[in-house]
Amino acid sequence: MTPKNPSCGNSVKNFSNLRAITPVDRGLPVNALALSLFFLLATSAFVRAGENEPQLAAIKTHVETLASPEYGGRAGEVAAKSRTYLIEAFQKLKLEPLFNGSWYQDIPGREAGSVAGRNVGAKIIGSDPKLKDEWVIVAAHFDHVGVINGVLFPGADDNASAVAMLLETARCLQQGEKPKRSVMLIGFDLEERGLVGSRYFVEHSPVPLDRVALFVTADMIGRALGGVAKSYVFVMGTEHYPPSLGWVKKASEAEKQLDVGILGADLLLIDRSDYGPFRSRKIPFLFFSTGENPCYHRPTDVAATLDYPKAEAISRVMYRVILSAINAPAKPTWTSPAQIDVAEAKTLRDIFKLLLANRDSMKIGRTPVYLMESSFKLLDTVIERGSVTASERASLIRVAQIVMAAVF
Ligand SMILES: [Zn+2]
């Protein structure tokens, strides 16, 4: 994939300007001592009342570590280092190993006896005697593409950003009120090779898959789609368990600067991350991503240019949604056919407008421009009516798939 714009650092300024999270916002005086105290508080086991939610400072530390050269782009020989990083974090939180007493799930290679990669996982057993046999899975892939022709691909956004969310979620779950359902916290390996780690997991799950209430994952939550959708995070999967749309809306109410774009997973030609194997097995899922950006799979995906306030806001929304899922009275069930909310048409209209406004800098071709411009009438009709028919949706899927393929 050829990026249209080699610069990917500007999303930092924009989202941060919308709501710069600084010690001043939290009522602390700005001086060096207070600043160090702030970071110490945010990363230590001590959590102030009402602050048991993912914290920017911890997210930044995780990303900076995992995207540093010592981690080798999290592939090859040094991939073991990133697995150890996750396991040490799990151990520090006193979590239990997920795989029959082991932190590892080995993924066999082609040759007999060889190991291609290793998923890592921890668990928290639920507190409710009835609900603890049902599981919510929170996952992020920790692998990336490594070093290619001597050039490091650090993978700060892809996917150190979501690993940081995973570790902060683990910390908050462990330090907060005991969850009613049980929770698996998984770092998937070999996602970049074609969702190999998550595919292997669904075939060798430590619990029967019908006991999985919800699968939640994120892949890239620290930049902006096309480098332009700076306020947006996209969520797929609510269409297969409509009550989860209410959870997402409620969870994002407090994040005024964040636009949560609801989309159906079938707008993409192929499953782009680890939700794929769960979606294929009709397990309710939610997938969060800020989307493909000019740093995607490039050596420029470095920790210094990530939008940390945005990653923190998304991690908090995800954490609140996860809390809703682990404590909900009813177990989520797969809804089919998918129930498409009108929110999807609003997301498409907003994104098409953004892309068209940036068509020159993004070098968007004539066909996608024409398709986007001619879809506004239909989108307006759908939004005004508050519902979408099957044939209208089919044509929106066609437009979205062609635009995605042509622009990104
Ligand atoms: Zn990824």
Q: Which residue, among 350, 390, 324, 332, has the nearest Cα to 212 in the 3D structure? A: 332
Q: What are the residues whose beta carbons fall under 8 Å from the beta carbon of 353, sequence distance 6 or more? A: none
* End position of a domain, from candidates 290, 310, 339: 339
Interatomic CA distance for residues 310 and 235, integer angstroms? 15
Please state the three-class secondary structure of 339-391 as a single string: CCCCHHHHHHHHHHHHHHHCCCCCCCCHHHHHHHHHHHHHHHHHHHHCCCCHH
Same domain (yes/no): 141, 126: yes
Domain count, the chain: 2
pLDDT(5) > 50: no
Please state, in angstroms and rounded to a whole number, the distance separating the CA atoms of residues 383 and 386. 5
Residue 384 within a domain: yes
Do both 159 and 210 map to the same domain? yes
How much distance in Å is there from the Cα of 305 to the middle of ligand 1? 17
Distance 388 CA to ligand 1 centre (A): 31
pTM of the model: 0.89
Give the whole-angstrom CA distance, residue 127 versus residue 134: 11
- Mean pLDDT across the chain, nearest whole number? 89
Examine the domain organization and report whether 137 and 255 are in the same domain.
yes
pLDDT at 8: 59
239 and 355 in one domain? no
Q: Dihedrals φ, ψ of 171, to 5°?
A: -60, -45
**Ligand 1: distance of its center to the CA of 384 in Å?**
36
Classify the phi-psi angles of 227: left when phi > 0, otherwise alpha if psi is within -120 to 50, otherwise beta.
left
Backbone angles phi, psi at 124, to 5 degrees: -125, 120
Q: What percentage of the chain exceeds 70 in pLDDT? A: 88
Task: Give the CA diameter of the chain.
Answer: 61
- In this structure, is residue 4 part of a structural domain? no
Q: Same domain, yes or no, for 106 and 138?
A: yes
- Of 177, 145, 171, give the one whose Cα is nearest residue 158: 145
Q: How many angstroms does the Cα of residue 130 sit away from the middle of ligand 1?
A: 35
Residues 92 and 220 in one domain: yes
List the Cα angle 317/322/324 in 5-degree steps: 100
Is residue 1 one of the residues assigned to a domain? no
Tens digit of each residue's pLDDT (9 = 90 or more) over 234-257: 999 999 999 999 999 999 999 999
C-alpha 387 to ligand 1 mean position (Å): 32
Among 289, 288, 286, 280, which Cα is nearest to 237's?
A: 286
**365 and 284 part of one domain:** no
Angle between helices 343-357 and 366-385 (to 10 degrees): 150
Domain final residue, candidates 339, 371, 391: 339
Ligand 1 centre distance from Cα of residue 226 (Å) = 16
Residue 356 lies in a domain: yes
How far apart are the CA of 220 and the centre of ligand 1, in A? 6
Same domain, 351 and 383: yes
Ligand 1 centroid distance, CA of 95 (Å): 25
Residue 191 C-alpha to ligand 1 middle, in angstroms? 7
Q: Please tell me whether residues 331 and 268 are part of one structural domain.
A: yes
45 pLDDT tier (thresholds 50, 70, 90): very low
Rounded mean pLDDT of 36-51? Answer: 43
User: If you measure from the C-alpha of residue 395 to the centroid of ligand 1, how many angstroms do you get, rounded to a whole number?
Assistant: 28
Residues 331 and 351 in one domain: no
Q: Which pLDDT band holds residue 160 (cuts at 50, 70, 90)?
A: very high
pLDDT interval class at 76 (50, 70, 90): confident
Output the pLDDT for position 78: 86
Residue 170 lies in a domain: yes
Task: For residue 208, report the distance from its CA to the centre of ligand 1, in Å.
Answer: 26
Assign residue 177 the CATH number of its domain.
3.40.630.10
* DSSP-assigned states of every residue in 172-195: HHHHSSPPSSEEEEEEES-GGGTS
Ligand 1 centroid to Cα of residue 29, in Å, is: 38
Distance 309 CA to ligand 1 centre (A): 20
Decide if pLDDT at 11 tops 50.
no
Measured in angstroms, how far is the CA atom of residue 59 from the centroid of ligand 1? 17
Is residue 3 domain-resident? no
Q: Same domain, yes or no, for 121 and 157? A: yes
Residue 378 domain-assigned? Answer: yes
How far away, in angstroms, is 34 Cα from ligand 1 center? Answer: 36
273 CA distance to ligand 1 middle (Å): 6
pLDDT at 4 over 50: no
Amino acid type, 231:
S
CA 386 to chain centre: 28
Residues 248 and 393 both lie in one domain: no
The per-residue pLDDT for range 219-239, each reduced to its tens digit, is 999 999 999 999 999 999 999
CA 221/CA 234 separation, integer angstroms: 9
Q: Position of tokens 């991350």? A: 273
Structural domain includes residue 208:
yes
For Cα atoms 14, 18, 24, give the angle at the middle one, nearest 5 degrees: 120
Alpha carbon of 262 to ligand 1 centroid (Å): 19
Q: Which domain holds residue 304?
A: 10-339
